[in-house]
């Protein structure tokens, strides 16, 4: 294996229906109109010397090495900036050109250090190459002239250096920062001979640079160079793989020297990223070899014991025997597992298989429960499948972007760069977000509308947008008539025209101007191709699923589905959220989103797996935790998720975990959850994995092992070994065999295999006989479900309300340099940028509380409290505060409640009523402990008042049956407007589809004893499902 050099055609590919034919050095070439002479020459296999040109950037014409002669034209035009013309006769090599090129190189080298032998770019330097190409033999100017050889190095960035003495002022870095990344952090300062690259007149670290690496990538010399290359030397071989951070799924060339990873370089042929990267994927991979890595299995009798390192077999035996005895004592359903969106499709597939076949139940859930489960539900109801509709490239054809509850520049930076490029080229932007995210106004990008809506009012606003579109006759009638269910549309149209959905009615709920809603709606409906992009600001609400359906309604009503530039597009949080859901990680669905009650499908799995499978939904994560506290659920296998930090109401999560008899954690590092574990199975980083990730655009990318497993086993081998220890035979020789099994059992994956992926790079599912090359855009001629389904989406306010005691709303998010619970990024130099979670609040809220910028504050909700530093900013509107959950020391999820989406139980992270008080250093309670105690032993509750404490007590001890009743009432509330019969039917269907029979029984029991009271439709539905049991409605 050698270092992979990608061809560079000098200037970007041009898209044109017109073909131009010309002659270059006697060779006939045909290229699309608009192509540069340089690229045409490259297509003919001729390389024109160049330094400032590269095919990822628009031509610039500065180096003047690529001059050519063209018959009939005077002078020597630059081939990079000269477009081809029919019949053009181009000469790239003439004596005149040779003289000019040598002259240019002579000038360059007269101001360049002659230290090639000790230069870190030696062997990978375009300047060096070009000196050879043009045959430079002497520099007649000498080396005594004015020069930049003593320019100081800027080494402030943790990942790369800027050595100005080697800069040839080609502006590739500046252009990459502008054109590729869209940050505009770099510029050329000074003029003439003094022109030099500058990060805005400060150091790289203090500049607006986001360390995406595009400049380093673009630099033709050692001016911008990875520190790892300076330290380790040039890499010698390449392994193509896929980043394991966010759901963009960037392709990278892992470049190694021997077995040592030297650098990660974004891959130009990567479908998701096309050669771009962000600071995390490009640079923050050092955690993989961090000293904190646990590489040996460990067990302990009790969570109060010390960990004991054991051999793998002992760990498997320890775990298996406990699972067996728990199931013997408490029943088959007392155990369950959680799959990880960080792991490969193959790893996820075997975990859910372990649960369904070896545990013998459907108690499998995934971290998507807490992020994008409403996407799955909502898009399935309306379109028929649980996935985003577009490929990322589609945004290049979009005319208006509706961005809701997502912050792409921080959370999906590489896609954000694509989006910004399109916005700079003229597309319009509408942002729905309580917080003023960077995209609202950033260099050369400004949103047409920013609606800073109150957290929790998404559904009201999306309804008002749709209301405007319907009321003002802006519906795409033709699309609706041809593509959607007429009856459903008619019902929806009546619903959406109701006065409570008008912008005027919604304005006061959402805190935005009615006129702005109307104008934004008109823009979305009339600007051409409209695309909706959204994130967890949509899903993590009590009406997350409603909102997803609301957006789907909007897209259908405006005819924005089924072609380039449109669609409804979730921006997935983790690298393999899409894949983990595809792989059957939900308790009600087998791989490929097929319900466990589907006998035909289940039978196929039973045949291949050799076990009878349960036909009823299993437990979701919140149900498992509830079951643990009530004693029915006793053992949990958690792969790659730190639920004690990431899931809401951490106090409750930790209580549940400590109530279990067995917790198995499989991860890279000891984490918050492993504090409650009995078995620790060391996991592998993405650099050790062999398999596939599926990104937010349904693109299945290969993950290839860059280094050998630090634990000696692949994670799927660990899962298989556990299955075997449980007496369920599971054997695969390779990860590709697992994919073959997936393909054999899942129609949308039927055409997928490692061999195919190795051949074509990546495919977007569905990939099967009908779509052998995959499916970049879904629902092109018809929806997966046939006709598109409009669903009524009544706005129901969350139960989480602000009160006199908790007058502010906390909402949460993510930042660029850190990722999720921070397990990876905290173990890299990324902490140089941000090393703590901070609370953003508006001056109007800070001032009356006497809170100063940068001071410590208590953040208290009905369920918990923590302490963190405060930043006063007008990014958040008055009444709303914001923080992140990257640092366990803050434990922001101590604050968040267990309120969740009515359909999927996705937690309502985005809306928590809170109060903020100043805290002195003495009060600082880090680590999310239950009580913040100051030196005098006074808790935060004492500082507040009795009422606060009472509410907290009540909430913390909400009975399981009360909780179930509350959830069911939510379902009823979300189906208002239906006839009573339809309402009962919808609730019953929901219970059958998503609730375990045990949960329904428990609720029926509570109803019969009068412990809880249900609304009539809910009671009727419960009665219907538990025929024979007394109904409270009767």
Partner 1 sequence: MITVYVPGDSAARSVGADTVAAHLVAGAAARGHDVRLVRNGSRGMLWLEPFVEVDVNGTRFGYGPVSSDDVDSLLDAGILEGAHHPLAHGNVDQIEWLARQQRVTFARVGVIDPLSLADYEAHGGLAGLRHALTMADDDVVAEVLASGLRGRGGAGFPAGIKWRTVLEAQSDQKYVCCNADEGDSGTFADRMLMEGDPFTLLEGMTIAGLAVGATQGYVYLRSEYPDAITRLNEAIDIARAKGWLGNDVLGSGRVFDIEVREGAGSYVCGEETAMLESLEGRRGMVRPKPPVPALQGLFGKPTVINNVLTLASVPMVLADGAAAYQALGTGRSRGTQVFQLAGNIARGGIVETAFGVSLSELVNDFGAGTRSGRSVRAVQVGGPLGAYLRADSLDVAMDYEALADVGAMLGHGGIVVFDDTVDMAQQARFAMEFCAVESCGKCTPCRIGSRRGVEVIDRVIAGVDREANLMLLDDLCTLMTDGSLCAMGGLTPLPVRSALRQWPEDFGGNS
Task: Based on the shown chain and the rule CB under 8 A, indicate whether residue 91 belongs to the binding site for partner 1.
Answer: no
Task: Based on the shown chain and the rule CB under 8 A, indicate whether residue 32 belongs to the binding site for partner 1.
Answer: no
Of 963, 900, 933, nearest in space to 369 by CA: 900
List the x/- string, 982-1021, binding to partner 1 by CB under 8 A: ----------------------------------------
Tell me how far, at minimum, the Cβ of 420 lies from partner 1, in Å.
17
Name the residue nearer to partner 1 (CB basis): 102 or 966.
102
Tell me how far, at minimum, the Cβ of 560 lies from partner 1, in Å.
23
Contacts 24+ apart (CB under 8 A), 258-265: 259/707, 259/708, 260/232, 261/285, 261/288, 261/687, 261/706, 261/707, 262/226, 262/228, 262/229, 262/232, 262/233, 262/234, 262/235, 263/226, 263/228, 263/229, 263/235, 265/217
Name the residue nearer to partner 1 (CB basis): 47 or 187.
187
Both structure tokens of 902:
């009515």
Rounded distance between C-alpha atoms, residue 23 and residue 5, angstroms:
27
- With beta carbons less than 8 A apart as the criterion, state whether 282 and 228 touch: no
Structure-derived torsion over alpha carbons of residues 307, 308, 313, 317, reported in degrees to the nearest 10: -70
* Helix (H) or strand (E) segment spanning residue 838: strand 838-841
Task: State which of positions 115-144 bind partner 1 (CB under 8 A).
Answer: 140-141
Name the residue nearer to partner 1 (CB basis): 82 or 811.
82
Task: Based on the shown chain and the rule CB under 8 A, indicate whether residue 783 belongs to the binding site for partner 1.
Answer: no
Name the residue nearer to partner 1 (CB basis): 61 or 993.
61
Task: Based on the shown chain and the rule CB under 8 A, indicate whether residue 613 belongs to the binding site for partner 1.
Answer: no
Name the residue nearer to partner 1 (CB basis): 139 or 411.
139
Tell me how far, at minimum, the Cβ of 411 lies from partner 1, in Å.
29
Residues 6+ apart with CB under 8 A from 442: 182, 409, 420
Q: How far is CA 537 from CA 44, 427, 503, 543, 573, in A?
A: 50, 23, 21, 11, 11
Of 655, 140, 169, 180, nearest in space to 414 by CA: 180
Tell me how far, at minimum, the Cβ of 175 lies from partner 1, in Å.
11
Task: Based on the shown chain and the rule CB under 8 A, indicate whether residue 201 belongs to the binding site for partner 1.
Answer: no
Task: Based on the shown chain and the rule CB under 8 A, indicate whether residue 111 belongs to the binding site for partner 1.
Answer: yes
Task: Based on the shown chain and the rule CB under 8 A, indicate whether residue 526 belongs to the binding site for partner 1.
Answer: no
- Member of 11, 35, 54, 82 binding partner 1 (CB under 8 A): 82
Asked if omega into 766 is within 30° of 0 (cis), the reply is yes
Binding segment (CB under 8 A) for partner 1, from list 105-113, 231-239, 555-563, 1017-1025: 105-113
CB atoms within 10 A of CB 160: 26
Task: Based on the shown chain and the rule CB under 8 A, indicate whether residue 772 belongs to the binding site for partner 1.
Answer: no
Q: How far apart are the first and last CA of the chain?
A: 74
Task: Based on the shown chain and the rule CB under 8 A, indicate whether residue 92 belongs to the binding site for partner 1.
Answer: no
- Member of 83, 712, 878, 993 binding partner 1 (CB under 8 A): 83
Task: State which of positions 173-192 bind partner 1 (CB under 8 A).
Answer: 187-188, 190-192
Name the residue nearer to partner 1 (CB basis): 444 or 801.
444
Task: Based on the shown chain and the rule CB under 8 A, indicate whether residue 93 belongs to the binding site for partner 1.
Answer: no
Task: Based on the shown chain and the rule CB under 8 A, indicate whether residue 629 belongs to the binding site for partner 1.
Answer: no
Name the residue nearer to partner 1 (CB basis): 140 or 957.
140
Q: How many residues bind partner 1 (CB under 8 A)?
A: 37
Of 318, 995, 378, 421, nearest in space to 721 by CA: 318
Task: Based on the shown chain and the rule CB under 8 A, indicate whether residue 99 belongs to the binding site for partner 1.
Answer: yes
Name the residue nearer to partner 1 (CB basis): 50 or 886.
50
Task: State which of positions 142-161 bind partner 1 (CB under 8 A).
Answer: 145-146
Rounded distance between C-alpha atoms, residue 164 and residue 152, angstroms:
7
- Member of 7, 75, 499, 937 binding partner 1 (CB under 8 A): 75
Name the residue nearer to partner 1 (CB basis): 46 or 107.
107
Task: Based on the shown chain and the rule CB under 8 A, indicate whether residue 62 belongs to the binding site for partner 1.
Answer: yes
Binding segment (CB under 8 A) for partner 1, from list 5-13, 54-62, 457-465, 545-553: 54-62
Task: Based on the shown chain and the rule CB under 8 A, indicate whether residue 61 belongs to the binding site for partner 1.
Answer: yes
Q: How far is CA 95 from CA 91, 98, 99, 101, 723, in A?
A: 11, 5, 6, 10, 73
DSSP 339-400: E-TTS-HHHHHHHHHIIIIII-S--EEEGGGGTTHHHHHHHHHHTSSSS-SS-GGGGGG-SE
Phi and psi at residue 548, to the nearest 5°: -60, -45
Provide the b/e sequence for 407-439 (b: ≥16 CB within 10 Å): bbbbbbbbbbbbbbbbbeeebbbbbbbbbbbbb
Tell me how far, at minimum, the Cβ of 83 lies from partner 1, in Å.
6
- Member of 9, 60, 204, 754 binding partner 1 (CB under 8 A): 60
Question: CB-hemisphere CA count at 13 Å for 329?
Answer: 12
Binding segment (CB under 8 A) for partner 1, from list 60-68, 428-436, 621-629, 927-935: 60-68
Task: Based on the shown chain and the rule CB under 8 A, indicate whether residue 527 belongs to the binding site for partner 1.
Answer: no
Task: Based on the shown chain and the rule CB under 8 A, indicate whether residue 103 belongs to the binding site for partner 1.
Answer: yes
Q: How far is CA 744 from the centre of its chain?
A: 28
Residues in touch with partner 1 (CB under 8 A):
59-65, 67, 75-76, 78, 81-83, 96, 99-100, 103-104, 107-108, 110-111, 140-141, 145-146, 169, 171, 187-188, 190-195
């Amino acid at each position: 294996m050698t270092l992979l050099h990608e061809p560079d055609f000098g200037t970007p590919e041009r898209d044109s229906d017109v073909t131009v034919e010309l002659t270059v050095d006697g060779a006939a070439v045909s290229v699309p109109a608009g192509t540069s002479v340089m690229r045409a020459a490259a297509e003919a296999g001729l390389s024109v010397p160049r330094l400032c040109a590269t095919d990822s950037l628009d031509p610039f014409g500065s180096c003047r090495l690529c001059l050519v002669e063209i018959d009939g034209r005077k002078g020597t035009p630059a081939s990079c900036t000269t477009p081809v013309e029919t019949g053009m006769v181009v000469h790239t090599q003439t004596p005149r050109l040779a003289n000019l090129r040598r002259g240019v190189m002579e000038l360059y080298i007269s101001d360049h250090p002659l230290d090639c032998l000790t230069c870190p770019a030696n062997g990978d330097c375009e300047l060096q190459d070009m000196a050879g190409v043009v045959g430079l033999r002497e520099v007649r100017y000498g080396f005594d002239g004015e020069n930049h050889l003593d320019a100081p190095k800027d080494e402030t960035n943790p990942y790369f250096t800027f050595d100005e003495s080697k800069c040839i002022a080609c502006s590739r870095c500046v252009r990459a920062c502008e054109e590729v990344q869209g940050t505009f952090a770099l510029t050329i300062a000074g003029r003439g001979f003094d022109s030099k690259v500058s990060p805005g007149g400060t150091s790289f670290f203090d500049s607006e640079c986001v360390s995406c690496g595009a400049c380093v990538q673009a630099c033709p010399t050692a001016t911008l160079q990875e520190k790892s290359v300076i330290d380790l030397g040039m890499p010698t071989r390449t392994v193509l793989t896929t980043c394991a951070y966010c759901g963009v799924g960037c392709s990278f060339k892992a470049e190694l020297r021997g077995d040592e990873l030297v650098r990660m370089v974004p891959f130009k042929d990567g479908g998701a990223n096309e050669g771009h990267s962000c600071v995390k994927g490009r640079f923050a991979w050092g955690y993989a070899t961090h000293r904190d890595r646990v590489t040996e299995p460990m067990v302990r009798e009790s969570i109060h014991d010390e960990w004991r390192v054991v051999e793998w077999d002992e760990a498997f035996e320890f775990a298996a025997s406990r699972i067996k005895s728990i199931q013997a004592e408490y029943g088959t359903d007392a155990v369950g597992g959680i799959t990880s969106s960080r792991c490969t499709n193959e790893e996820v597939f075997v975990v859910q298989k372990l649960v369904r076949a070896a545990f013998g139940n459907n108690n499998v859930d995934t971290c998507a429960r807490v992020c994008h489960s409403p996407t799955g539900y909502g898009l399935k109801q309306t379109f028929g499948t649980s996935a985003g509709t577009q490929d990322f490239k589609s945004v290049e054809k979009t005319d208006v972007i509706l961005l809701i509850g997502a912050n792409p520049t921080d959370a999906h930076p590489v896609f954000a760069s694509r989006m910004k490029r399109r916005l700079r080229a003229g597309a319009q932007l509408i942002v729905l977000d309580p917080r003023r995210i960077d995209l609202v106004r950033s260099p050369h990008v400004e949103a047409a509308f920013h609606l800073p809506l109150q957290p929790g009012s998404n559904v009201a606003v999306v309804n008002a947008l749709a209301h405007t579109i319907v009321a003002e006759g802006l519906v795409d009638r033709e699309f609706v008539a041809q593509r959607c269910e007429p009856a459903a549309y008619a019902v929806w149209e009546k619903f959406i025209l109701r006065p409570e959905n008008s912008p005027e009615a919604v304005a006061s709920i959402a805190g935005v101007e009615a006129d702005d809603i109307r104008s934004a709606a008109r823009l979305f409906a009339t600007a051409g191709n409209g695309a909706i992009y959204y994130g967890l600001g949509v899903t993590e609400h009590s009406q997350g699923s409603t909102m997803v359906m609301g957006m789907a309604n909007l897209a259908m009503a405006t005819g924005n589905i089924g072609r380039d530039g449109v669609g409804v597009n979730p921006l997935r949080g983790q690298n393999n959220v899409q894949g983990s859901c595809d792989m059957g990680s939900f308790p009600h669905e087998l791989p490929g989103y097929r319900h466990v009650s589907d006998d035909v499908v289940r039978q196929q799995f039973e045949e291949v797996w050799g076990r009878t499978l349960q036909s009823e939904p299993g437990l979701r994560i919140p149900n498992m935790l509830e079951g643990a506290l009530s004693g029915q659920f006793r053992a949990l296998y958690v792969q790659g998720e730190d639920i004690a930090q990431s899931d809401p109401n951490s106090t409750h999560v930790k209580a549940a975990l400590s109530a279990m008899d067995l917790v198995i954690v499989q991860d890279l590092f000891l984490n918050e959850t492993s504090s409650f574990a009995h078995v620790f199975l060391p996991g592998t980083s993405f650099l050790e994995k062999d398999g596939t990730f599926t990104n937010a655009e349904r693109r299945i990318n290969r993950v290839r092992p860059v280094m050998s497993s630090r634990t000696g086993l692949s994670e799927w081998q660990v899962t298989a070994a556990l299955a075997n220890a449980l007496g369920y035979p599971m054997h695969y020789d390779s990860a590709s065999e697992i994919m073959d099994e997936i393909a054999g059992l899942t129609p949308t994956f039927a055409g997928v295999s490692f061999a195919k992926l190795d051949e074509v790079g990546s495919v977007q599912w569905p990939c099967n006989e009908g779509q052998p090359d995959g499916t970049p855009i879904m629902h092109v001629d018809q929806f997966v479900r046939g006709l598109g389904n409009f669903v009524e989406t009544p706005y129901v306010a969350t139960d989480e309300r602000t009160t006199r005691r908790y007058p502010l709303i906390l909402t949460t998010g993510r930042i660029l340099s850190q990722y999720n619970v921070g397990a990876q990024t905290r173990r890299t130099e990324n902490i140089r940028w941000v090393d703590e979670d901070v609370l953003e609040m508006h001056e109007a809220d800070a001032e009356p509380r006497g809170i100063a910028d940068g001071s410590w504050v208590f953040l208290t909700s009905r369920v918990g409290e923590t302490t963190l530093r405060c930043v006063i900013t007008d990014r958040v509107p008055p009444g709303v505060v914001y923080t992140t959950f990257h640092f366990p020391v803050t434990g922001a999820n101590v604050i968040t409640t267990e309120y969740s989406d009515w359909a999927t139980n996705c937690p309502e992270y985005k809306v928590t009523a809170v109060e903020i008080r100043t805290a002195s250093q003495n009060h600082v309670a880090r680590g999310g402990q239950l009580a913040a105690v100051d030196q005098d032993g006074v808790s935060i509750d004492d500082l507040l008042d009795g009422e606060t404490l009472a509410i907290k007590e009540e909430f913390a001890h909400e009975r399981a049956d009360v909780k179930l009743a509350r959830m069911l009432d939510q379902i009823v509330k979300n189906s208002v407007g239906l006839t009573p019969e339809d309402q009962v039917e919808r609730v019953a269907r929901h219970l059958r589809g998503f609730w375990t029979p045990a949960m329904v029984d428990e609720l029926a029991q509570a109803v019969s004893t009068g412990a809880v009271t249900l609304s009539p439709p809910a009671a009727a539905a419960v009665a219907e499902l538990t025929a024979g049991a007394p109904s409270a409605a009767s």
